[in-house]
Amino acid sequence: MKKNFKVLFLAVFVAAASCSFTTKEFQDPDKDKLLLDLISYVLEKGHYSPAQMDDAFSESIFNNFIDGLDPIKRYFLASDIAEFEEYKFDVDDQLLAKDLTFFNEVYSRFVERQNEARKMYAAVLKKPFDYNEKEVINVDYDNTKYVTDKRQLKERWRMQLKFSTISGYYDLYEEDQEKIKTDESFTARAEKEIEKKSRKSTLTSLDEYFEFTDDLERKDYFAIFLNTIVEQFDPHTNYFAPPDRDRFDLRMSGKLEGIGARLQKKNDYITITEVISGGPVWRGEHMDVGDAIVKVRQDDEEEAVSIVGMRIDDAIKLIKGPKGTKVILTIKRVDGTIDEEIITRDVVELEETYAKSTVIEKEDKTFGLVNLPQFYFDMEDYDKRNAASDVKKEIERLKEEGIEGLVLDLRDNGGGSLRTAVEISGLFIKDGPVVQVASSGKNKEVLEDTDESITWDGPLVILVNELSASASEILAAAMQDYKRAIILGSKQSYGKGTVQNVVDLNQWLRNSDVGDIGALKITTQKFYRVNGGSTQLEGVKSDVVMPDRYSYIDIGERDYDNPLPYDKIEPANYDVFDGYIDFDAAIAKSKARMVLSEQLALIDENAHWIQKRRDEMEVTLNFTEYKSEIDARIKEGEKFEAINKYDNKMSYRSLPFEMELMKQDTTLREKRKRWHKSLAKDIYVEEAVNVLQDLKLNNIRKNKVTEIKN
């Protein structure tokens, strides 16, 4: 019996023809006012939960727009903010009246202050920095106050530039110390020479930064203002100016060449929010989510450009580039350490985004693991290739190897096609509801698995972490609600329970000469578990919680401003799986093992250590103290190196069909060798196998699965 349900995708898609409110026309000859009017209309009519445009809404736009332009408070004076204050609770009224007074005044003052800053930083960097002086800078810019006059502003620039430069000074110093170790004839540079070179590097970086700002026009800042407005509705609602929409389309088609990472600006830093499976960063294990890129250098350049404070679009222009070229990135890790990574730009290797499996052997028992990096599908022909059919093939091949239990690894899986998530759920249950979908009109639809066939009816464990999102959460939640699988991993998954559509705004224009006005990505639906709970914000809470390096860092939907809230609806009609005889006992045994695990205790200690490093807001600008603190941090971090030396005492081998392919494909052989080496250090996989051993099927009902009463 074929599965029958509507094709619905968690991945965003262009929905120009799907809007039911396209009859209205917009004719204002002023492009900015037309955009304001049109975007307000689309949000009101199409957003799942339109924001109330009141004083609180106005205040949030006021604060966020100013903070976005000047996040480290080095341009505006306190007197500027005082002048802007008259608009603090008036922005909503101005928007309704298509009045741009607030934007115009802030924009013009910002341009004025930027021009003044050019002279200020140049003057500061003419004088040497004294690293013997006892100075400390506080980098908690959220709680930093604006200065009252230009003398104080110049002093703020001096402190921030000294802070930027001391890291370069340290790098040059360490470079010389390393050469001395290998070359007895080498003479280290004098302190004055190192200071001058590091200061020149900072000047070059700032000069290039301001060259970027020279290319920005009023329309670029207006696009920032529009995004400040729409992001009050939720963090996934965004305005795409024409160039941004082109980049978005490229990203969705998988054809964008670069480093293979999603970036977001947080405070003043460009931060990694997702490492794309199959991309250069993923393949080389260069960076992790939460790492910040602070400098960028091209392969043919001597000086790196600081991107701290830079607009994200400008930073991306420096980072991305043609396939085969190299870019050198200075990375601030989640634990505060600074490293340099050389990355060869490339396109995402699609093969690495596909499902793969391995046979796990522990003593005299055999288990299987399927790793699913994303819920993919062929956009031109769904049946040609998709995650559901591939996972099914991998499970069938593992069954031929005589596995006694199955691990489905959804860690770092950011989602994709909901249809594949529903179909994969159907591989483990007889039939029944998998997810409930509520639209902006609050109409509810239940997506069901109607295929009574079951591909795997044995013990099942699903691995998740904080980066398991969207479709991953739908699948894990369904298996948890049915008690079909034990969920093992982080305290909770990412917490994204919404879907977005991309709406072409040009469809409302008739005979207009304003040109391309871009597109709006808008949240239109929300997803709910079969038990009625939302995955929004709360995600999926693991049955067995295992600490990881992100345990005490806000990673996920809750880390954004203005997320839609968690809520509940009526549960769907379903019965839990009754094939296990010791489901709760298996969870209890696993929790008991967690308490006794020295490896997990070390991982948890490392997570606390990372949190402590990230919470440190005061940095010394005295070089002796600065170096001592770095040395101490490196020394402290050495104890955590044992985490990557762990051996879970299990063996891993590829399936027979892959073994045949590897005879000819040395690249595939090397990739699987690397993967198996990583799995051998993985305590989470080890515990998943332990849980599989504890899960026992009711022999009388071994083939009995969930029956749904509709």
Q: Which of the following is catalytic: 58, 198, 425, 470?
A: 470
Residue 20, exposed/middle/buried by CB under 10 A (0-12, 13-18, 19+)? exposed
Q: Which of the following is catalytic: 332, 496, 521, 526?
A: 496
Rounded to an integer, what distance in angstroms lies between the CA atom of residue 477 and that of residue 413? 14
DSSP H or E run through 306: strand 305-306
Rounded to an integer, what distance in angstroms lies between the CA atom of residue 271 and that of residue 333? 10
Q: Is 126 a catalytic residue?
A: no
Coil, strand or helix at 649: coil
Q: Which of the following is catalytic: 37, 70, 314, 481?
A: 481
Q: Is 444 a catalytic residue?
A: no
Rounded to an integer, what distance in angstroms lies between the CA atom of residue 639 and that of residue 680? 20
Residue written as token pair 């051996």:
647
Nearest to 34 by CA among 519, 520, 517: 517
Residue 346, exposed/middle/buried by CB under 10 A (0-12, 13-18, 19+)? buried
As beta bridge partners, residue 652 has 360
Half-sphere exposure (Cβ direction) of 96: Cα atoms closer than 13 Å: 11
Q: Quote the Cα angle for 696-702-708, to 5°.
A: 110
Nearest to 458 by CA among 399, 400, 411, 530: 399
Rounded to an integer, what distance in angstroms lies between the CA atom of residue 277 and that of residue 257? 14
As beta bridge partners, residue 344 has 326
Half-sphere exposure (Cβ direction) of 153: Cα atoms closer than 13 Å: 22
Q: Which two tokens stand for residue 180?
A: 């001395």
Q: What count of residues does the chain have? A: 710
> What contacts 551, CB < 8 A, 6 or more positions away?
490, 491, 604, 607
Q: Is 130 a catalytic residue?
A: no
Active site amino acids: 470, 481, 496
